[in-house]
Structure 1
Amino acid sequence: MRRVPLVAAVLAAQFLGLVDGLIVSIGVPAMSADGVLDADDAHWVLNAYSVAFAGLLPLGGKSADLWGRRRVFLTGQALLLAGSLLGALATTPAMLLGARVVQAVGAGISTPAGIAQLADSFPHSRERSRVFGLLTMGGGAGWVSAGLLGGLLVAYLGWPSVFWVNVPICLLAITLALLAFPRRPAGTTSATMDWKGAVLLVAALALFVHTAGQVGRAGPLSLPTLAGATVAALLAVAFAVATRRAREPLLRLALLRRGGVPVAAVLGLALPVGFVSTQFLGSLYLQQVLDLSADHAGYVFLALASMPLLATPLASAKFQEFGFARSVGAGFALAAAGLGMIVAAVLAGPPLPLVIAGFVCVGVGVTMVYVPLTVASVAGIDEADNGSATSIFSTSHQIGGSIALAVLSSVALAAGGLHSARGLAAGFATAGGLLTLAALGALLLLRRLDATQEDQECQESTTTA
């Protein structure tokens, strides 16, 4: 196996995922102005992707375990390429949202396949932390590129260019995967798939996110809100029942009791809150409240986008020194402090210096969280389950991002609207509160995993000696 092109293939996919998130956010105001997207439902250009992505990540992880990492990764990247082409050619809201769903299907099945292959290829904890740190750097490079190019592309070539830019990156990932991914099949010989579970999970998540996004208009205790939440809960229960009865379940619920999987899944829900709030609400604030052009807004986003790239080497090294609990807790707390700075800037000013400082804190904080949680997601489980375990973690933070985006949009609408400083400040403040709770949760939940990891490293050292 060729490790360098293997890592490069997964890095290209990770780079693409981060480019897509920020660059599409920068293009949202232009899409609304062009009539391809309804301004009040602008969050769906991101959530259509996130909902489908989150729902299909378990399918991708299970597919990688059943049919092989290589085949699933290549299929996913091909679908992502097709969805990007469709998005660039979209002329209606339905076409645009459909393209986002196709992109999400591709990313949803290829992401866990790529991460599982890395976990297979780098079995030791220290190796994994370095490689997963490189993934964060790849994402950071994507964010820097999106910040530099996103505004320029939208300003001078129009919003379709945010989809065209994906094409060469997809082709690069496909080429590298063909060269480097091993052809060996997964350990299991069964080829059954829990399609019922996949449908129920996507339906439950989509309805819950839609309901959360309507709270600002309908009210938290209105009939539509209560009915939507009830049906979503019933679909979730049906998913759990179907999963338990399936011969090859979409998610192995037993994994939620093993190793670091349950803690990583719980804290993973809060992982995207900082980036989701700054990407979506920040783009609207910069372009529609401060009236910055798309290219100037992209330059401001560099303060956020460059942090994963710059901070990952330090975060990876200090994680090994300080452990899971302190690293994750400090990261969430720093991101929460950054959001507090942004709230102060939105309400009081002076706006840009304080916004930039807040973006820096959010970027560094989330970087400090990502590496240890990714390592925790595969800690203490069998190699054959790496695909399923990584899909659980990826699903948790995608679900968290989808719910956060809907909730924060709803809070902003209720407090004054997505185009007002007051409404956006309420959304940022809510995100900061959620991350503060996550910091406290990390300190409480990750202590046991730290102790287990220390014991494992001692055993590895003894064996090597």
Structure 2
Amino acid sequence: MSAPLPAQPPTRTPVPTPDPAPATTRSRGLALGVIATGLLMTVLDGSIVTVAMPAIQNDLGFSPASLSWVVNAYLIAFGGLLLLAGRLGDLIGRRRMFLTGTAVFTASSILAGAAGSPALLITARFLQGAGSAMASAVGLGILVTLFTESRERTRAIAVFSFTGAAGASIGQVLGGVLTDAVGWHWIFLINLPIGVATLLVAVRVLPADRGPGLRAGADVIGAALVTSGVMLGIYSVVEVGTYGWLSAHTLGLGALALALLAAFVVRQATARTPLLPLRVLRSRSVSGANLVQMLMVAALFSFQILVALYLQRVLGHGAAATGLAMLPAAAVIGAVSLGASARLSARFGERNVLLLGLALLIALLGLLTRLPAHGHYATDLLPLMFLAAGFGLALPALTALGMSGAGEEDAGLVSGLFNTTQQIGMATGVAVLSTLAASRTDTLLSEGSSRAEALTGGYHLAFAVGGGLLTAAFVVALTVLGRTRHGAPTRSGRPEHGTAHRTGAADATDVTDATAAHPVSR
């Protein structure tokens, strides 16, 4: 909804004044570029490392068991601190939190690039995850308060979503090229010029905001409960490959994580200044979109990672060639995200666009279950890349729905929550689908199948389960998010095209009034 124009002081004679919109539009465009660049750094850092893992292991002497902590240390810090960072951004200022997080990420990237031992690299990766959480948690919050007009917000979210979706593919290519050309250290050191440039521009273009201060909501006990619970939960999931699902390690730590999170919910219901006001979750757009995201992100691991593994382990592609092979998907995602997505959302509503995107992704994973063990990229895989358009439709629409219940005072918190569920979905998808694929591969090998056939059979199972998760996400989006109506009246009585209109008495436009009724019927 557009913000009301400020009252103008009275003048004796009307004097024409120049329209300030171009400068404002340019400033907001630069701010969007800064936030997208910050996101790109963190996404690149997540995918660029996977390609360089063998070189890192050989150079620093990692054991096979400890090598996974190059990724896990980042994931645990990132996922565990997002919610806390988002709330702190609301309290002390989202601009300050973004700048601090970008500075921490850039400095820890230098430390990672200079690391000469496994312990130092793992420490640097943990700090990188913390910096990423601080910057990423408030990025969407800044966007939704900066772009108040519906169409502009939809386009801005499309750019944000495309950056995240395409960054993984770019990271695989860049990681292979840098590792082969100048060494693995530069996959971290390349963040230095990008981070410095981002900080210099962000200081000038990000809007200054002043939160109410830590006394308005510094729930220390709640912060400790949710941070330790999420970190412990992600840790127990990412270590499933080592200990197994039914081990005392996994079940014990998983139960403890659930207990901590349950205590956090109880704390939020009784605390005077809760870290996560439960009224936020009463918005169907917020709770429904976060649930859809966890299911969708868990399923999409099977496309982003297992397709790359199929290219390398079955078809014999190298690291750089695999990244290049995935670029058509990134190009399709970009074309749809930045082009058709915003127009379709404005025409039909975000919920309907999300459903269309999920349907395309279900078809994609269904067709991937038919990949042959002795296939060819050009005929068996390349045509399927066009179905990746579902990413370009679903991600911006889902992000818009997830942030649509965010009021000014809670935008950072809702942004942090949305990013947190993304990381939980990613960690769960990695653990579940990779374990299922490996188990199926072992079974097929024991039955006498060739290595290529066994690997492909394992990937087929993971694709099928991923398709099931996407089907569940489709059902949730269809039933929980509710109907949207193009041009439905907002609270001000003006139509707001392209806005996802929440439905029901417990699903308000603003989380500050989450119990108000909405004119659109359920």
> By how many angstroms is 1:451 displaced?
4.7
Q: Which residue of 2 aligns with 1:335?
A: 361
User: Does the 8 Å contact 1:59/1:250 carry over to 2?
Assistant: yes
Query: Could you tell me which amino acid in structure 1 is paired with residue 218 of structure 2?
Result: M
Query: Could you tell me which amino acid in structure 2 is paired with residue 190 of structure 1?
Result: R
> By how many angstroms is 1:27 displaced?
2.5
Q: Which residue of 2 aligns with 1:431?
A: 466
- Kindly report the root-mean-square deviation, in angstroms, between the aligned alpha carbons of the 2 structures: 3.0
Residue 323 (1) aligns with residue 365 (2): no
User: Does the 8 Å contact 1:267/1:438 carry over to 2?
Assistant: yes
User: Does the 8 Å contact 1:273/1:401 carry over to 2?
Assistant: yes
Q: Work out the CA distance in 2 between the residues paired with 1:453 and 1:187.
A: 35
Query: Could you tell me which amino acid in structure 1 is paired with residue 346 of structure 2?
Result: Q
Q: Work out the CA distance in 2 between the residues paired with 1:125 and 1:58.
A: 26
Q: Deviations over 1:109-166 (max 9, x none)?
A: 1123222122111123222111111212333563464354332112222332222222
1:276 alignment partner, SS class: helix
Q: Work out the CA distance in 2 between the residues paired with 1:339 and 1:160.
A: 35
Query: Could you tell me which amino acid in structure 2 is paired with residue 455 of structure 1?
Result: P
Q: Work out the CA distance in 2 between the residues paired with 1:388 and 1:351.
A: 43
The correspondence of residues 4-403 of structure 1 with structure 2, limited to 5 A, is: 4-32=29-57, 34=59, 37-39=62-64, 44-139=69-164, 142-143=167-168, 145-187=170-212, 190=215, 193-215=218-240, 218-258=243-283, 260-312=285-337, 313-345=339-371, 347=373, 349-351=375-377, 353-362=379-388, 364-403=389-428
Residue 441 (1) aligns with residue 466 (2): no
> By how many angstroms is 1:72 displaced?
0.7
Query: Could you tell me which amino acid in structure 1 is paired with residue 80 of structure 2?
Result: G
> By how many angstroms is 1:215 displaced?
4.5
Q: Work out the CA distance in 1 between the residues paired with 2:464 and 2:58.
A: 28
> By how many angstroms is 1:379 displaced?
2.0
2:488 alignment partner, SS class: helix
User: Does the 8 Å contact 2:139/2:415 carry over to 1?
Assistant: no
Q: Which residue of 1 aligns with 2:505?
A: none
Query: Could you tell me which amino acid in structure 2 is paired with residue 442 of structure 1?
Result: A
Q: Which residue of 2 aligns with 1:454?
A: 488
> By how many angstroms is 1:399 displaced?
1.4
1:291 alignment partner, SS class: coil
Query: Among the aligned pairs, what percent are the same residue?
Result: 32
Task: After superposing the two structures, state which structure 1 stretch, 272-281 or 4-13, moved more.
Answer: 272-281
1:65 alignment partner, SS class: helix
Greater RCO, CA 8 A, separation 6+: 1
Q: Deviations over 1:363-386 (max 9, x none)?
A: x22221111122112324422221
Query: Could you tell me which amino acid in structure 2 is paired with residue 454 of structure 1?
Result: A
Q: Work out the CA distance in 1 between the residues paired with 2:83 and 2:433.
A: 26
Change (3 A) 1:425 1:71: same
User: Does the 8 Å contact 1:151/1:295 carry over to 2?
Assistant: yes
Change (3 A) 1:36 1:267: farther
Q: Deviations over 1:293-322 (max 9, x none)?
A: 222112112123323322112112112222
1:344 alignment partner, SS class: coil
> By how many angstroms is 1:177 displaced?
0.9
When normalised by structure 1's length, the TM-score is 0.88
> By how many angstroms is 1:344 displaced?
2.3
Change (3 A) 1:100 1:217: closer
User: Does the 8 Å contact 1:339/1:428 carry over to 2?
Assistant: yes
Change (3 A) 1:348 1:270: farther
Query: Could you tell me which amino acid in structure 2 is paired with residue 429 of structure 1?
Result: A
> By how many angstroms is 1:429 displaced?
3.0
Task: After superposing the two structures, state which structure 1 stretch, 132-141 or 409-418, moved more.
Answer: 409-418
Task: After superposing the two structures, state which structure 1 stretch, 96-105 or 345-354, moved more.
Answer: 345-354
User: Does the 8 Å contact 1:6/1:180 carry over to 2?
Assistant: yes
User: Does the 8 Å contact 1:19/1:142 carry over to 2?
Assistant: yes
Q: Work out the CA distance in 1 between the residues paired with 2:97 and 2:242.
A: 41
Task: After superposing the two structures, state which structure 1 stretch, 183-192 or 128-137, moved more.
Answer: 183-192
> By how many angstroms is 1:36 displaced?
5.3
Q: Deviations over 1:303-361 (max 9, x none)?
A: 23323322112112112222233211221222232233333225463456433344442
Q: Work out the CA distance in 1 between the residues paired with 2:468 and 2:369.
A: 12
Residues paired across the two proteins, number? 461
2:490 alignment partner, SS class: helix
When normalised by structure 2's length, the TM-score is 0.79
User: Does the 8 Å contact 1:328/1:368 carry over to 2?
Assistant: yes
Question: Could you list the runs of 5+ residues in structure 1 that have no partner in the other structure?
Answer: none
User: Does the 8 Å contact 1:341/1:357 carry over to 2?
Assistant: no
Q: Work out the CA distance in 1 between the residues paired with 2:192 and 2:364.
A: 34
Q: Which residue of 1 aligns with 2:28?
A: 3
> By how many angstroms is 1:29 displaced?
4.3
Change (3 A) 1:144 1:413: closer
Q: Work out the CA distance in 1 between the residues paired with 2:386 and 2:298.
A: 15
Task: After superposing the two structures, state which structure 1 stretch, 128-137 or 270-279, moved more.
Answer: 270-279
Q: Work out the CA distance in 2 between the residues paired with 1:285 and 1:87.
A: 30
1:190 alignment partner, SS class: helix
Q: Which residue of 1 aligns with 2:8?
A: none
